[in-house]
A and B are shown apart, each in its own frame.
Chain A
């Protein structure tokens, strides 16, 4: 039993990044957010820069523009891309732009709702503003960054007008200066005279409508949509880039900690003998990571570290040797019986019977009864480990009741919050106090089902605490403030994240150890073996798929059953309070069922247009720490469904690509009504709205302005706050057609018929709001040896903001997909992970990588674009969407090349991977 609930509803849920009702951001933003008055103290790194808002400062004279990167860089290029968006609208000279990494400071980067008293109060709430997961940094902040940039440009223009004594209409910002069009003179952005005027202008900042009006039209973008330099590249190739393990707070005597962890999740330390470890030269101390009596980590305890004993030494080598010498006895606990081989059978049994229906259309059973042919197949994906190149590492310093943390983390504020929560004594009172983190105003939530769950949670907690709702919120807010004051988190570069570094357990280890060594910086360094054995593994999944075919070969019914362990089973304690907290995630993980987030990864949003459909979630109990890996539940859902589509095509005697297009049909659009009609309770949609969101209360009534009148746009209609992001079969179809054309599918299929052992495979999947189709060209020789020749992939991600990084993410995401498809498998015996390092958990190497990975950006069709203001389809995910379709495309290609049908990962068990 854990004393502390470690997730806040907002951290992961639809409020994350841009949350649900919250997600609300596209076209409207508060002036207060644009030009924050009374800024908190800006970091020293701003030198004497003139802070223009929470994201930008201009250094007087030299004119350098410093842009805060509030999202973490893990290779997706977000530090470069978001800065480029802002700089474009600001009319900055890119050579004078510097990017500075922000500390954890959620409130600073939150975006308030334009109207107070409306719901929700934040467009992007404080707790999600920095959380880099689910491929949504650009999707969430594209519009805010543009507004910030354009707003500052407008201030500069007005300031220049005052300086020149002319009308603002006579001034124009271009290339880091403002031109007086009357006389051709100009004044630079960094000119102190201009900044002086800008400060005065910013006292009465432009309104949102004014800023909206000066946003650059697409044709005038200089950086957006162009190949932009990668700001960290030079540091990375010269060894200057700073990652988690490279931090040295420049204080005397940093100690490096190596930790022996309990091999089984949720186990505990029984006893340990430090003598031999302490005898190693350089070893300074040997301590338990968790204080005595502190609940152990692992299953049900979320981000609390595994139970373990740390060896702290002067350097890494001494710590490693000390760890080797250390003897620890464990209480392994109930998970010691977990055996992944046996577990596979349990999951298969689970999908053999009907599960919980998530989505249903037509009469599936009737259609099976009348079918000419029935195809029925099972697919399996084992646990997978993210294995970022940089093993987890973090540095912590504890002094005078305060923590300073340096961490390569995807969740800066998440790290801050959980360090703060974990450092509280695990008393019953603090348990309750920690739970208030998840208290929220139900009226801020967009859907009745969510409001009900939140209300229940609040009421229960109010009863336990003996307070009313206002009292509850006060406890929560006081706690948040206390933690923000106590814990400072600096974000380093991440040597890869892939979901592993959205879990702050390693920073918590450093924080616990720092607490025991006041004044001494503590660096926790994981080895690769630690990383492989103590990951948050992608869930095991078993899929059962069944299709009915009519006499013409067309699919008349589709049954999709999926069993997988939910992240939330790991996250929430098994006690009553934990169960209560779980409610806020639609009971994710409860009784073995998935959360709304996981169900939205290729299950509820399945886009094949078949007349009769039933989608079921079958239970799966959890016995290990489960987390998320690049593209998460899409990994197994895409592998199952896209492989199955190919199997059905073959059963129908049809071309795989033609049949795939037939399954997609013209392309259905799953709007809220479609979801409701098919019984989907609350579709997560990566935290973005399915339907357009207008400025209105949850009751659908217009929001009233300060003057008491309804707030409407200039046309008298409700103001659009967020465009729609529905699962859209038309876009899926378009990427399939594009990749088929680019790969020369039709001609190659014909010509390969005459070539033994050569074949093409295709797959397509929507994830993280983007659409990707992949074609893979392979050979299989008589020795069953696989060669992957070329890969073709098309993505529709709305506006491709930084096409070079889109291409890089596609290449990388495809290689990540190949890697797990061919080689990926984590197995567990007696509760302990069996793999150790890259020798027994291999990942793709350069010689196994196909020579050509061709990528294409497919712009949304005119028909799709017509549904968006200005025809600009907003940018959507890029980091994860390229991954899911790879494994099934490869499996399908292997069959086309005369190889076996592979229904489980990894493929090396079925074909030879050289």
Chain B
């Protein structure tokens, strides 16, 4: 066990945990931030996607000892009130079905829009950015549409 300082959603948390604990479990079990989901544990499904300094990463496969060096943003901190353009587009277009993967999908999509500096990504860019996020309900067509909408564009 060691002391780590985690910068999560603009707040500093001091935790005494195993430095090899994946960030996912520190967020969920230690900090009680349960919006980040466990889907596979091996960076295959993207349900646990969070931002490290604005980049989308799989929190199941980043140790706390590494994550503590970066600013961490989870779905809870993406916007103060659920008003991130992706969150709004997701609700307006009724993207979620079971909803379990959607925090991860939205974190990946938000990072994509940051990378394109808000420009409307092509379908190919979306596929590349989102292929690490599995949705078993099959909301992919609406996810594509919502990303275009969040970028202020129409689907290409």
Contact = CB atoms under 8 A, between A and B. Distances in A.
A812 B138 contact: yes
Nearest to A836: B42
B102 to A, nearest CB: 5
B18 A281 contact: yes
Contacts of A537: none
A726 to B, nearest CB: 30
A814 B91 CA distance: 22
**Size bracket, chain B contacts:** 35 or more
Contact of B29 (A316, A809, A812): A316
A317 interface: yes
Interface in B107-129: 123, 126-128
Contacts of B54: none
Contacts of B78: 238
Nearest to A238: B82
A248 B123 contact: no
B10 interface: no
Contact of B106 (A237, A248, A387): A237
A264 interface: no
A74 B36 CA distance: 18
Interface residues of A, number: 68
B96 A498 contact: no
A388 interface: yes
B21 interface: yes
A237 B91 contact: yes
B61 interface: no
Nearest to B98: A75
A528 B97 contact: no
A847 interface: yes
Nearest to A498: B136
Contacts of A595: none
Interface string B131-144: 10111111111111
Contacts of A243: 37, 100
Contact of B102 (A236, A246, A315): A236
Nearest to A528: B40
A844 B135 CA distance: 8
Contacts of A837: 40-42, 44
Interface stretch (A336-344, A369-377, A488-496): A488-496
A714 interface: no
Contact of A846 (B40, B100, B103, B126): B126
A843 B134 contact: yes
A237 B82 contact: yes
A819 B137 CA distance: 11
Contact of A389 (B34, B86, B101): B101
Interface stretch (A218-226, A227-235, A667-675): A227-235
Interface string A850-866: 01110000000000000
A812 B134 CA distance: 12
A216 to B, nearest CB: 25
A527 B48 CA distance: 13
Main secondary structure of the interface of B (DSSP, over half): loop
Given A389-B39, A389-B47, A844 B138 contact: yes
Contacts of B136: 387-389, 496, 498, 816, 819, 843
A317 B139 CA distance: 30
Interface string B24-51: 0100111011111111111011010000
Interface in A60-91: 73-77
Interface string B75-111: 1101000100011001100111111111100100000
A389 B46 CA distance: 10
Contact of B103 (A229, A239, A281, A387): A239
Nearest to B97: A75
Given A239-B74, A240-B35, A847-B131, A496 B100 contact: yes
A845 interface: yes
Contacts of A239: 33-36, 74-76, 103
B12 interface: no
A276 B140 CA distance: 44
Given A232-B99, A236-B102, A838 B45 contact: yes
A847 B127 CA distance: 5
A663 interface: no
Nearest to B103: A239
A238 B47 contact: no
A812 B41 contact: no
Contact of A315 (B25, B38, B106, B128): B25
A241 interface: yes
A544 to B, nearest CB: 31
> Which interface residue of B45, B74, B128 has the most chain A CB atoms within 10 A?
B45
Contacts of B135: 389, 846
Given A234-B91, A528-B40, A847-B128, A317 B134 contact: no
A528 B41 contact: yes
A245 interface: yes
Contact of A808 (B29, B38, B41, B94): B94
Given A316-B25, A389-B100, A847-B131, A839 B137 contact: no
Given A238-B82, A317-B18, A846-B133, 13 more contacts: A75-B99, A236-B90, A238-B78, A281-B1, A282-B18, A317-B21, A389-B47, A389-B101, A389-B136, A493-B100, A527-B41, A809-B97, A819-B138
Interface of B: 1, 18, 21-22, 25, 28-30, 32-42, 44-45, 47, 74-76, 78, 82, 86-87, 90-91, 94-103, 106, 123, 126-128, 130-131, 133-144
Interface of A: 73-77, 227, 229-230, 232-243, 245-246, 248, 256, 281-282, 315-318, 387-391, 493-498, 525, 527-529, 804-805, 808-809, 811-816, 819, 837-839, 843-847, 849, 851-853
19 contacts: A75-B137, A234-B91, A237-B75, A237-B86, A237-B87, A239-B34, A245-B28, A256-B29, A389-B37, A389-B101, A391-B39, A493-B100, A527-B41, A529-B41, A812-B137, A816-B136, A816-B137, A837-B40, A852-B141
